[in-house]
Chains A and B, each alone.
Chain A
Amino acid sequence: MKDKRMTVEQAVAEVTDGMTIGIGGWGSRRKPMAFVRALVRKGVKDLTVVSYGGPDIGLLCATGQLRKAVYGFVSLDSIPLEPHFRKARQNGTLEAVELDEGMFLLGLRAAAQRLPFLPTRAGLGSDVLKINPHLRTVKSPYDDGEELVAVPALNVDVAFIHMNRADAAGNGQALGRDPYFDNLFCMAATKAFMSCEKVVSTEELVRGGPLQSLLINRMMVTGVVEAPGGAHFTECPPDYGRDEKFQREYAATAKDEEAWKAFRAKYLDVSEAEYQKAVAS
């Protein structure tokens, strides 16, 4: 089997200006933040991000690298409203595609199944159809003739996800209680990169948790990056919880340009190793 291990820099080298990026996790939970930080260091711009949004969207708003966000919500969970995302929306600097959370899932599934769309009732009657004039409805071809929303596939160029454990070949394990939709992000993508807390042998991976925790198989993954603390400051149970203090510090920088500059210099304009050292102290 191929050894797909690489560095975060090698992974984000695949991302160029204007690309559409899928980001796994949910809100401020198991987000592939080491990849997001690498995108910031690389300075790639005009990105579209497709995400159950959290600080991934917020950070890329703050650095001005995000042109467009596709989301059902953007939240830091313990801080319900993501302040950097709010600022970008309120300043009119961000193009937005706001979908119902379930519609978003169907868009990922459609992409993973190579379908143009999947039908749903979600969205009918709401302003989601008004604010997204690109959305169409479809009439059931059967006798019921019911009109449904045709959620278009959310295809992405590159997907980034973070797992607890992985092997070098690209099999990945989520040890927390919610797998979220990281497998679908990989399948919706042309290329997918997986970071993990620890790369282990395949034997150790299989023994490390129930078989159902092996959410990602190696077909789904182009590259594997060992990135301990790679989801920080979001939670990555059972390895670590959310760093609430750090998250509050991050959130506060939306109101204070000087604080943002200092945050950026200390935590973002540095390597991943220096970041991990800075947050450990």
Chain B
Amino acid sequence: MTSTEATRADVCALAVAECFRDDGEIMVSAMGTTPSLGARLAKSTFEPDLLMTDGFNLLLRRALPLGAKPSDDDVEGWMPFGAVFETLWWGRRHVMMGASQIDQFGNQNIACIGPWENPKAQLLGVRGAPGNTINHVTSYWVPNHNARAIVAKVDMVSGVGYDRAASLGPDGSRFHEIRRVVSNLGVFDFNTPDHRMRLVSLHPGVELQQVIDNTGFELVIPDGVDTTPVPTPEMIGVLRELDPQGYAQKEVVV
């Protein structure tokens, strides 16, 4: 990828990066290709104080290209799993996870499809999703927005959504925040009176009807939906440096 014209994947990467704007000096854990690229874009441009790992246990002082091996000079600290748990319980973390299913209140499922007792498909298991979502800010990335992934009700609540958090009362829910969902079609949040998912912006070239048809519930659609910002030529240059192999271009379904 040498073109300076923004692709859908570039727009998604910037939309991901925007999730981390003003996060400051906290750890970002971005799971998957486009989240990793977007978080690195944020760190390389407007959010340099973010702490990020190599995906394993090294904290890196600068954002490296996807797939690059860090050198000793790139390292600023150590973050083994034990420290990850302490950090997430401390709350100084913003995670962007994937979602096999996500529902209208932001409940996420990565555990299984079908009833948990007798799953049609066993997936990862809940992993850290319950603890992440109840302890610190969470965002989600959906590379292929469709009505099987964006559903009215998830099969198994791994990551906690707003209706579940509200049922815990003010104590239980005080650290819960689902900031945004970025998909290949648009950007969504939960800034509605009952925290139902709302369309924030459509990526350039995406029709509103396409989003409605591919969503398994009735989205809140405000008057005058925005278009997701397109990265500047300078940002596209940064994106090309951070993803020289074009992994994100392959991930995003157009």
What residues of chain A have their CB less than 8 Å away from a CB belonging to chain B? 26, 53, 71-75, 80-81, 85-86, 89-90, 92, 98-103, 105, 120-128, 130-131, 144-147, 177-181
- Determine the distance from Cα of A122 to Cα of B133 in the docked complex, in whole angstroms: 8
Indicate if the CB atoms of B158 and A127 lie closer than 8 Å.
yes
Q: Sample 21 A-B pairs with CB under 8 A, ordered by A number.
A: A72-B125, A72-B126, A73-B126, A85-B122, A98-B125, A101-B131, A102-B131, A121-B172, A124-B160, A125-B134, A125-B160, A125-B172, A127-B116, A127-B157, A128-B130, A146-B171, A147-B172, A177-B56, A178-B56, A180-B80, A180-B82
Q: Is B152 an interface residue (CB 8 A)?
A: no
Query: Contact: B125 with A125, CB < 8 Å?
Result: no
Any chain A CB within 8 A of the CB of B65?
no
Contact of A105 among B85, B133, B156, B173 (CB under 8 A): B85
Known: A90-B120, A105-B85, A177-B58. 19 other contacts (CB 8 A): A53-B125, A72-B126, A73-B125, A86-B122, A98-B111, A100-B130, A102-B88, A120-B131, A121-B134, A121-B175, A122-B134, A124-B134, A125-B160, A126-B133, A126-B160, A131-B117, A131-B156, A177-B78, A180-B82
* Residue among B118, B122, B135 making CB contact with A81, cutoff 8 Å: B122
Determine whether the beta carbon of B118 is less than 8 Å from that of A126.
Answer: no
Using Cβ atoms and an 8 Å threshold, which residues of chain B touch A71? Answer: 125
B residues near A81, Cβ cutoff 8 Å: 122-124
**CB 8 Å contact bits of B93-131 with A (1 = contact, 0 = none):** 000000000000000000110001111111111111111
- In Å, the complex CA distance between A85 and B2 comes to 43
A177 to B75, CA, bound (A): 13
List residues of chain A with CB within 8 A of the CB of B56.
177-178
Check A127–B156 contact: CB distance below 8 A.
yes
- Contact residue among B128, B130, B171 (Cβ-Cβ distance under 8 Å from A144): B171
The residue on A at minimum CB distance from B110 is A73
Are A101 and B128 closer than 8 Å at their CB atoms? yes
Count of A-B residue pairs with CB < 8 Å: 130
**Of all chain B residues, which has the CB nearest A86?**
B122
Give Cα distance in the complex from A178 to B54, angstroms. 13
Distance in Å: Cβ of A219 to nearest Cβ of chain B = 20
Whether, in the assembled complex, B164 has its beta carbon less than 8 Å from a beta carbon of chain A, the answer is yes
Which residues on the A side are within 8 Å of B134 (C-beta)?
Answer: 121-126
User: How many interface residues does chain B have, given as a range?
Assistant: 35 or more
In whole angstroms, what is the CA distance A73 to B31 when docked?
15
Q: In whole angstroms, how far apart are the Cα atoms of A80 and B100 in the complex?
A: 13
- Cross-interface CB contact of B130 among A75, A85, A90, A103, cutoff 8 Å: A103
Q: Which residues of A contact B126 (CB under 8 A)?
A: 72-73, 98-100, 126-128
C-alpha gap A90/B119 in the complex (Å)? 6
Quick one: closest B residue to A176, CB to CB? B57
A122–B122 alpha-carbon span in the complex (Å): 22
Q: Are A100 and B171 in contact (CB under 8 A)?
A: no
Q: Which residues on B sit within 8 Å (CB–CB) of A180?
A: 80-82
Neighbouring A residues of B168 by C-beta, 8 Å: 124-125, 147
- Contact status B125-A102, CB under 8 Å: no
Contact residue among A90, A128, A147 (Cβ-Cβ distance under 8 Å from B122): A90
Chain A residues lying within 8 Å of B131, measured Cβ to Cβ, are: 100-103, 120-123
C-alpha spacing A101/B172, complex, angstroms? 19
Point out the residues of chain A lying under 8 angstroms from B111, CB to CB.
98, 127
How far is it, in angstroms, between the C-alpha of A131 and the C-alpha of B116 when the chains are bound?
A: 7
Q: In chain B, residues 168-222, which have Cβ atoms closer than 8 Å to a Cβ of chain A?
A: 168, 171-173, 175-176
